[in-house]
Structure 1
C-alpha cells in the first residue's frame, strides 16, 4: 500500500490492488488503506472467482475479472504487474513442527487457528510459537510475541501457571497396549517405554484418553463414572411439584458452556428448575458411561454442550463428543427409546442468552416426551 501511495501521489500513476482478504488490523494499516483510496488507488476484492491473468508473447499482461460489486466483467492491461510473494513458514519451522508434534494452521505456520492458542501457545505445553514462526507479523507485533513468550516461560519456571490437579494415570494391570490413548492425545502426553505412561507435566487432563480407553485403564479420578454419578442428584432445594418437572443433566465444557451458564444466571435468564450442570474439562472427556450414568440416575434428558468447531482447546474433543451422542441416538432409535432425550449443541463462553434458550427449549421437548422410561 505504501508503494501504491507513492506512485499515486508523487508520480500521478493510476494503481490497482487486487486482493482477496485484505487485513488492516495492524497499527496504522486502516489509515494507510484510507489514504491510498483517497489518493486514487482502486481496490478490487474477490471472495469466490479469482481473476484470470494472461501473459502475451511480448510479456504484456492482461487481467480479466468479474467485479462482485457491479456484477460486470472487466479487463485491465497494466504497464507493470507486481505479484505478491507466497506467504509460507520456513522449512526449519516446518521441520520442528514434525519433531515436536506441533499442530499447524492451514498455511503451515506453527499454531492452529484456535482462540485458546492466542497469542503464542501451541498444543504442546511449554512450547511457544512467536513471531514469524506463527504468522506474518509487523515488527511491533513480533516484539509483543516475544514479551508474551517470556512471561509464559517465567510462569512455568515459577510454577504459577500449574494448577495442582490430578492428571491422567495408566493402570498397568488393565492396559493392553492398544495405543488408543497414544493416538488420540492432542497434547502428546503419552509415552511408550517399557509400558504406556502419561507425562504428567504435559497432560492437560482433557479426559479424551480416559473416555476412549476400551479397557478403562486410563483414569482421572474426578472424571470416573462413579464420581460423576455422585454429582447426579436432584437439587435438595428444588420444591416438589404436582406436575412433571424434568430432571435435566447438562455436561458442560468448562471453557465454554459452563461459563455461558454462569453468564446466563448473571444476566437474569430463567433456566429450567430441574437443570443440573456437570462441568468437565473438555467435552471429549464425556464417555458413553457418563451419559448412561445420568440416565440411570433418573435424568429425563441429557444435554452435551461443547465448544464451537475449531475452538476446542483439545482440538477434536467436541467432535468426539458429537460422535458419541450420534451413536447413542442411533441405538436409542433402534430399541424404541426416544433419541430426543439426548441433545448436543455448541456454545461459546459469551453466549449466556443462547445457553438459556437451548436449556428452555430442551425442557419443553422433555415435557412433551414425559418422564423417562428408565426412571426408578
Structure 2
C-alpha cells in the first residue's frame, strides 16, 4: 500500500507548462541554457513563472568586444519592450534578463525612475557602478492594450545585480539586419545526457522476490532518449527436498524511450533488449557445482519522472520482461534428472529512480 500511495502521489503532480510556449531563449553553446534562465526568473519571483509575459531573447557571440550581445523583447497584451544588453560574460546577461522578466511580471518591485525617461536609462548595481540598458516600447500585434502591466514598466530601469555591472548599451551597426527572434536556432544544440540510478523489487527471474539495482547512462533529445543499462539481481535461494539452489543474475540492456509529458513531469515509455546470465550454485547434493545460464529478454516499461531541480528528477517505473531465452537448473548425476529451478518467461519489476540531466534539450 505505501508503494501504491507513493506512485499515485507522483502521477497526481500537475505542473503548468504555459511558460514553455511563452519563453523563447536562443544562445550559443557556451552560454547558460533556457532551464538556467527559467530557474533564475523563478528564484527572483519566489514562485513558478506561469507565462505572464511573452519573452523572446537571443544572445549572439562575437569575436570583438563586447563578446555577448542580448536582444530581448518582453510582450504582454499587444505591446513589447525591446532591450539590448552586452557583456563580456554570458552569465551576466542571463541574470540581467531574469531580473527584467521578473520586473515585468511584478512591476511593483521595480526601481523607481522619473517619468518621461526614454532611450537609455542608467542602472546602478549594488556596488554603485553604472551600466545602461536600452528600453523602447513597440507594438507586436494589431491591438494595443492601454494601461497594461508592461506599459507601466517599459520606461522603468530596474536595478541590476552586481554580476551585470559590465552591461552597456549595444547599438547595431547601420544597415545590419537582425535575425528574427521567432526562429531560434535549436538545431545547433546536440543531445543532452542522463545518468540514472534505480532500484526496487523483481519477481520471476530468480526464486522468490529479489532486489534489483541498476545504473543507466544515455543521450537525451527533446522527445526521445537512448539508454544503456546495467542490472544486478540480488541472490535468492530455492529449497527442494533433493537439494537447494542459490542464484543471482547480471544483465545489460539497450533501451529506446519516448518522453511524453510537460517539461517538469515526464512519462517515459521505454522498450529494448536485455542480455545477460543467471549464475546458480546447487547445495545439499552430492557432486553439485555452479553453472551459468544465458538470459535474453524483451523489456518494456512505463513510468513517471518529476523535476525537483533543473537537473534532478525523481520517479518510479513499472517494467515487464518477456524472456526469449531463460535458464533452467537441474541435478543430473547421480540418479534421474531433477529440476531445481527454471526462470519464468514473464517477470516484472517495480523501480524507483533518481536521475541527473546534463544540457537537457527540453
Please confirm whether the aligned pair reaches a TM-score higher than 0.5, indicating the same fold: no
Judging by fraction of residues, say which structure has more helix.
1
Judging by fraction of residues, say which structure has more strand.
2
Higher Rg: 2
Which structure exhibits the higher relative contact order, with contacts defined as CA atoms closer than 8 Å and separated by 6 or more residues?
2
TM-score (norm 1): 0.19
TM-score (norm 2): 0.19
